[in-house]
Amino acid sequence: MGVDLLKSVARFHSLFPGSPEPSIWRAPGRVNLIGEHTDYNLGLVLPIAIEFSCFVLTAPRPDAVLRVYSAQFGEFVKWRIADIPSLAAQGAWSDRVAGVAWELLRSGIAIGGMNLMVDSEVPLGAGLSSSAALGVALTMAMGGVSADAAPALARAAEVNFVGVPCGIMDQFVSAHGKAGAGILLDCRNLDWRPVPLPSGLGIVAANSMVKHDLASSGYAVRVAECAAAAHELGVPSLRDARLDQIDRLPPLLRKRARHVITENQRVQLFAQAAAHGDLETIGRVATESHRSLRDDYEVSCPEIDFLVDAACAVPGVLGARITGGGFGGCTVNFVQPDALSALSHTLRSRYSQFNGIEPEIYLCVPSPGASQVPASQLTVNS
């Protein structure tokens, strides 16, 4: 896995003959360490940006046309800029490009004609926020906006055009990630701070290679259920609810509220444990998060549960949980460095026996957020 930017530039010129030298923007994917499904409830999250990035190459063209090529899908799309405000989502990869252009224009940010190529190394459908990385990179590349402004615009495109009722966590950490640290973000007021992670903590994502049909519909259902629970409790969002209030809720909404309330508490415990180098608490809290997501929030699945249980049985693994929207995708595992090899071997062998699929294993290194790539730094990324 990896994008060779020198080859990407050469490919850009072959796709768009006579085009000027492209500018290149990158935005990373993310792994959420703790704080799942709390962002759209205006709660606390603690993700990291990862080394896998989405790259957007752009160069101006003389007409008022946006012409786009996806290296991953091998497809071109194009729109006249004058037509973009009247576009609607089509259920295709290009929706996220059209959506960002649509949102930029709606926000009063002019865009000119350009050739654009997307080349990403963030695994698709793995719960590592390939779509948020694309949105942030596109927003900065097409709109010339700063990393501070990009998350809100990229999220607005996802919500208002694509139709995914997401919170701002993924876009925020893609823009603001820090090397060696997680980002503790309050999704209500966007206050945040870096949380340096202990040097003896390894972070490994395991891709189940499955995504169930509930992934998109189930996410929207959970958003609606949380809104209904907050309404019944008379609070602005579940961020403001307390455990001693939820007994009045119907059983299903009670479970959803209990997850959100306790997950916010787990984020704080995780951050405190990281500050003290308390690896045992980090692992325990992560595994408790998975149980809550499995039992109260009901966004796990048999494949993910198997990977979590298999990981937790490996000596040196501190804890594991599902990460991302759910119903498939990845687990995140917290592991002592000397157990990395054993974890990788165990998950590959046991999961293959379980369902005949070998999971992809990614060592996740907390990495910097989005930026423009200087021409002097065109090197092979891996």
DSSP 33-84: EE--S-GGGT-EEEEEEEEEEEEEEEEE-SSSEEEEEETTTTEEEEEEGGGG
Q: Is the pLDDT of residue 313 over 90?
A: yes
**Residues 16-68: tens digit of each pLDDT:** 999 999 999 999 999 999 999 999 999 999 999 999 999 999 999 999 999 99
Q: Residue 118: how many CA atoms within 13 Å on its side-chain side?
A: 30
Residue 163, Cβ density class (10 Å: 0-12 exposed, 13-18 middle, ≥19 buried): middle
pLDDT category of residue 214 using cuts at 50, 70 and 90: low
| Residue 213: pLDDT over 70 | no
The pLDDT value given to residue 217:
77
pLDDT surpassing 50 at residue 359: yes
Cβ(285)–Cβ(53) below 8 Å: no
- What's residue 382's pLDDT? 35
**Residue 215 pLDDT level (bands cut at 50, 70, 90):** low
Contact status, residue 320 vs residue 286, Cβ threshold 8 Å: yes
pLDDT at position 346, please? 98
Top-level CATH class of 5-29+51-175?
alpha beta
- As a whole number of angstroms, the distance between CA 137 and CA 315 comes to 39
Q: What was the pLDDT predicted at 381? A: 42
Concerning whether 170 is annotated as a catalytic residue, the answer is yes
The token pair at 209 is 């290679």
Domain boundary assignment for the chain: 5-29+51-175
Length in residues, the chain: 382
Rounded to an integer, the average pLDDT of 320-342 is 95
Which among 170, 240, 278, 296 is annotated as catalytic?
Answer: 170
Asked whether residue 89 carries a pLDDT value surpassing 70, the answer given is: yes
In the chain, % of residues over pLDDT 90: 89
Show the tokens assigned to 18: 């006579």
pLDDT in tens, 148-184: 999 999 999 999 999 988 889 999 999 999 999 999 9
For position 124, what pLDDT does the model report? 82
